[in-house]
Structure 1
Amino acid sequence: MKLDAGLPVDGKHLRGITEVARAAEDLGFGGLWTSETKHDSFLPLAVAAGATSGLSLGNSVAIAFSRSPMVTAQLAWDLQDISEGRFILGLGTQVKAHITRRFSMPWDKPASRLADYIRALRAIWESFQTEGRLKYEGEFYKHTLMTPFFNPGPIEHPEIPVYIAGVNTRLARLAGELCDGFHVHPFHTPEYVRRVVVPAVEEGASGEGRDAREVELATSVFVVTGETEEAMAEQREKMRAQAAFYASTPTYRTVLDVHGWGEVGDRLGGLARDGKWDEMPNLITDEMLHTFAVEAPPDGVGPALKERYEGLVDRVALYLPFVPGERDEFWRAAIGAVDGG
């Protein structure tokens, strides 16, 4: 199991990426992931690739349906080339409102569309690598033109891993059918991963004659830690509010149902609809928070992660941005415990 880092997201994030990436590699993180909320997730990875030599670099996640497969294929191809084979393409569907209203792009049958998207990517990459004819005609995407002038040509590491993200079983099955990895949402529990995600990945893989062990599971973990009890209490309430926000959304009901907490999700959804955000964290009990989050003093976070996830997921990150120079000893100890201790 590897401990990865998440890139900080702020208004000046591009200016600090070289420092962050080099520091992450020096400390021994397995990988560096970029998100796609306020900023594009590909551009930072190009900067990080030029500043590092061994760190895995990936999107967690890039929004698939906001881009043509050809656009994503070109971005991924160049990143795989500059990183010398260290790039991981992470894709997500987002939700209908954002795709149709924020990006003004089509939305229908998202799981089927995402499967078609991935097949289109691989057809385009094959055309790039072989410099041969491009002829892909799927349910949603058709790519039938590639002339030498627009073909970037072969690269040394043409096999680009594709991870997808999801919560419910359909996308987990798709990961088993077609992908190299699956991003488990930060709002999860180990029991949900065991009872929902793993069986769905296995089902998808079995249907395609694949070994489910070929599909890596990666996740980001809620964590409650601090040097003092006051600091831990403050972090505990932040994570309680974060858990309440996710639990109020019907998409994440599957996680609650595993533990028999579906009724809490209904109540949280009602409070969210009424705009009663301050009341929502009160419904997340200490028992629930302990199930959703790792809680430990700083020197115990790494061992707690290892105990909780060893043999269950392949890559973990903390739901905290990595900032060079802040808590380096904490990060170093956690990496040692997860990756080797």
Structure 2
Amino acid sequence: MTPSAKPTSEGLTALAAQDTLPSLERVYAQARHENFPVASRVLPSRHRRHLLALYAFARMVDDIGDDGPTGSAPDSETPPTPASQRLRRLDEVSQNLDGVFSSTPPAEPVYRDLAMTVRECGLSREPFERLVEANRRDQVVHRCRTFDDLLRYCTLSAEPVGRLVLGVFGVDTAHRRVLSDRICSALQVLEHCQDVAEDARAGRIYLPTEDMERFGVTEHDLLARRADTPVRALVGFQTQRAVRLLDEGAPLVDSLSGSARLAVAGYVAGGRATAHALASAGFDVLTATPRPTRARTLLEFGRLLAAGGAR
């Protein structure tokens, strides 16, 4: 349940030069194109509003961490923002959270809407700070040695989103958090598999180093125009790991009812459809980015609602 997918390059270059927050219109437009939509039309408007407020904040923080106010795509002609400036902006986000969790939120729409969601849903500050910390870490840590290292990163970058979603629906329990964490980590790993080429061009590699060595893959291999057999095998291996995590967390669907069940089923269905897209592409993530089809996502969604988390 991670609305923290990488920003697309379209429309980012011009905004990157501005010292402003992303507009809600642009953020919501991006939401409609993410792998794991956060605002399904089947949900009541109050839930859509809260989920979009969370999405807008996570999108903003990711954009700042990627390269400034809204990020510069790796193939953009706009010079990247220095890491020191990105860290400063992330510190400003933390300072603005002071206002979100007080009676005087910042005037910017992203923070204003977030403050309303925090107040109405009784959300805690800690998950938001973890999302900010994930992006701080991205400024100084560009490799993961082991898969456990990657999962520890997911505790900052992905798991907080799922816990916030549980809070929006008022279904947050210790047991559900465990299952949600599995789902969110799986979605994050799948996203990293999709974005291998983009991340590599940006100087970040989320594929564990020890797995790259095991499959005989070099960093240079990830910059090729087409994935060779070792790269495909490596991506397939990571995808299998993600699917196992997704299956471990999928019983969360069966523990829920109503709108919460629909929302979580949508996230899990998106993950399974993404894994299917990766497999259908032969795990070649360098030629093009494998994207799940709407038909496959709906198929997985229907299966989940019919059978709960069981496959």
Larger strand percent: 1
Bucket of the pairwise TM-score, normalised by the shorter protein: 0.3 to 0.5
Larger helix percent: 2
The normalised TM-score by structure 2 is 0.44
The normalised TM-score by structure 1 is 0.41
Q: Which has the larger radius of gyration?
A: 1
